[in-house]
Amino acid sequence: MSKNKDLENLKSSYKLGFSVPEDYVFKSRKGLNQKVVEEISYIKNEPTWMRNFRLKSYQTFLKRQLPGWGGNLSEIDFGDIYYYLKPVEKESRNWEDLPPGIRETYDRIGVPEAEKKYLAGVKGQYESEVIYGSLMKSLSDKGVVFLGMDEGLKKYPDLVKEYFGTVVPPADNKFSALNSSVWSGGSFIYVPKGVKINLPLQAYFRINAANMGQFERTLIIADEDSFVHYVEGCSAPTYSTDSLHSAVVEIIVKRGARVRYTTIQNWSTNVYNLVTKRAKVAGDGVMEWVDFNGGSKLTMKYPSVYLMEPGAHGEILSLAFAGSGQHQDAGGKAVHVSPNTTSQIISKSVSLNGGRTSYRGLLQILPGAKGSRSKVVCDALILDSRSRSDTYPTMKIEESDVSVEHEATVSKVGEEQLFYLESRGIPEARAESLIVSGFVEPIVKQLPLEYAVELNRLIELQMEGSVG
């Protein structure tokens, strides 16, 4: 199959590649300099500490080099990106109050419908700002806070100041520094002690403009013995020029609390997706990352758990799918700081039609973290000889009284499995989708039904695009 045909197929199978006309309140000039950073802070009318935080982060961004590992970042033109687009004056509580183009976009994605059926609260971010928000009254009555990050900063300045940038410091990497200087939007969540939120909270991130940079910032604080499941989805139009999505997510899991964070990443294949996500977990707390990467041109994302106190547990389920022109460099990190902490990283990746997946992981057990246990399993399915998968596991085990299991299989069984199924009369396309959905089944079956259905649908769309 020719490259052009691949691209056409990808485009036709990507159902969210449409765009609507721009009619925005504010659009910054292209490119990044100190003035742009100041302008963003000015428009948002922020406290001085945040303005200074941004400016200092900007200096860090300038100083830091691009990572010399992972995917090819050399083609990102930081001067050719819009860093701040404000689509509407303020966040709406009703979808009807939004401009028709934006409302229709979310309708086509299906967010309002999902909200009615199975969500406890929703945030919709369009370009740089959160433009829609809802939360069940029963939850706000219990003290649950679910706001856009900007609104969170206004209403809970002390709480934000206490935690912002403490889990992912701006200097962590070049892109966390970039996000820290130009961040806009994202979610701010506080779950009070003992409150368990049964239905998920969801945020949906949409890029509409070409050459857009989206830099949302999310902070979740789960107080003792609480539970929240946060789900994020995203998509963008298919353009011939590149866009950049670079988020920072910080999560505080307090004693005995549990946070599950599910990502269904479905960016169009012209989006660089470079995201830093990290959770700090206190005693007997549980952090679960469920990370699906199906879209984007290049994703570099390794959700992390820092197990700070005894009994803390972290789980990372990473699922990556790379088709033509895509590179998914994904995985996870678990850092055992305290004794008797446990972690599990399970990664599954599928590459086809010349796509590339990389598993990149870190398991670190610090001195003194006795009795810690960890299991890392990564498994790659390569469906044809044009596609590629690599594994980069790093283990830093600095304590002897621990239990560590590691299994890595990068297998080209795809071709043998295909032949086996075809030899029983099953046509190629059907055989491919059987193998792929079977391969991811152990992960999908751990998801709530609605997301399992969504994920299977995305995988089927990807497979549709793959059949010439």
How far apart, in whole angstroms, are the C-alpha atoms of residue 53 and residue 384? 47
In angstroms, give the least distance from the CB of 430 to another protein. Answer: 7
> Is residue 408 at the binding interface for another protein, with CB under 8 A as the rule?
no
| 427 part of the interface to another protein, by CB under 8 A | yes
- Closer CB to another protein, residue 144 or residue 350? 350
How far apart, in whole angstroms, are the C-alpha atoms of residue 40 and residue 167? 23
Name the residue nearer to another protein (CB basis): 164 or 439. Answer: 439
The minimum distance between CB 418 and another protein, in angstroms, equals 8
Task: Determine, following the binding rule CB under 8 A, whether residue 441 of this chain makes contact with another protein.
Answer: yes
Find the part of the chain contacting another protein (CB under 8 A) among 30-38, 41-49, 118-126, 412-420.
412-420
428 binds another protein (CB under 8 A): yes
Task: Candidates 131, 435, 459, 463: give the one binding another protein (CB under 8 A).
Answer: 435
Question: In this chain, which of 42, 438, 453, 457 binds another protein, going by CB under 8 A?
Answer: 438
Residue 194 interacts with another protein (CB under 8 A): yes or no: no
**CB closer to another protein, 269 vs 391:** 391
Query: In the set 437, 446, 448, 464, which binds another protein (CB under 8 A)?
Result: 437
Q: Report the residue from 29, 143, 415, 457 that binds another protein according to the rule CB under 8 A.
A: 415
Q: Cβ contacts of residue 228 below 8 Å, gap of 6+?
A: 189, 191, 197, 201, 220, 222, 259, 260
Cα-based distances in Å from 419 to 351, 384, 460: 17, 12, 20
331-360 positions binding another protein, by CB under 8 A: none
Task: Show the binding pattern over residues 359-398: x = contacts another protein (CB under 8 A), - = does not.
Answer: ----------------------------------------
Summarize as ranges the residues that interact with another protein (CB under 8 A). 413, 415-417, 419-428, 430-431, 434-435, 437-442
